[in-house]
Amino acid sequence: MRGIFIPMRRGLSYSRKYTQAMKQFLGRIALVVNDYDEAIAFYTQKLHFTVIEDTVLTTTKRWVVIAPPGSPKDGCSILLAKATSDQQQNNVGNQAVGRVFLFLFTDNFDRDFQNLIGQQVTIVRQPVTNTYGRVVVFADLYGNLWDLIEPSE
């Protein structure tokens, strides 16, 4: 199998050996939460996510993986990680320092936007249509910002 050469800006380069037969993907994104069960309740009841796994590891730690409905089996999912230190606790709800943190793509913006409204999820910025699609910014139970996006055709 031949490698793929990726040209870089002047002054930057990657070795060809790193692009040969390489297959990578994002499997999990850690989301720091105050409490496993309250986070599971929000994501499953308000956003209709599915719990993929909920395994007790110790008396204080669980491996909790959730994903949006319709996600591919090997698609990226969210690992709920309970804050265990003061630093982590202070950053619950602010993982992206006030920026949109996660991007939830949908095949039906109107349906999912109406669900957010009906579930009384906080809408931070009203829906707009951009060149890339329709988008609304909402906050999860901790204040992390999300984009709900229906891509343009």
CATH code, 118:
3.10.180.10
**Do residue 85 and residue 98 come from a single domain?**
no
* Averaged pLDDT for residues 79-83: 98
pLDDT single digits (tens) 110-122:
999 999 999 999 9
pLDDT over 90, % of the chain: 82
Paired with 100 in beta bridges are 145
104, 153: one domain: yes
Query: Do 140 and 104 share a structural domain?
Result: yes
Is 9 among the domain residues?
Answer: no
What pTM, to 2 d.p., does this model score? 0.85
Instruction: Reduce the DSSP state of residue 46 to 3 states and report it.
Output: helix
Q: How far apart are CA 65 and CA 80, in angstroms?
A: 6
15 belongs to a structural domain: no
Query: Where residue 1 falls among pLDDT bands split at 50, 70, 90?
Result: very low
The sign one gets for the Cα dihedral 86, 121, 146, 40 is positive
2 within some domain: no
Looking at the structure, do residues 81 and 100 belong to the same domain, yes or no? no
Same domain, 80 and 104: no
Q: Which of 89, 104, 121 is the last residue of a domain?
A: 89
Domain with 56, as residue range(s), is 26-89
Same domain, 126 and 144: yes
Distance (Å, rounded) from C-alpha 29 to C-alpha 56?
19
Instruction: Give me the residue label for tokens 């906050």.
Output: 139
Q: What single-letter amino acid sits at 73?
A: K
Q: Give me the number of domains the chain comprises.
A: 2
Q: Is residue 43 part of a domain?
A: yes
DSSP H helices, the chain, are 36-41, 86-91, 109-118
Helix (H, G, I), strand (E, B) or coil at 44: helix
- Same domain as 69, residue 49: yes
Pairwise CA distance, residues 44 & 67, whole Å: 9
Contact 69, 115 (CB under 8 A): no
Whether residue 103 lies inside any domain: the answer is yes
What pLDDT is attached to residue 22?
80
Distance from C-alpha of 110 to C-alpha of 11, rounded to nearest angstrom:
46
pLDDT tens digit sequence for 132-145: 999 999 999 999 99
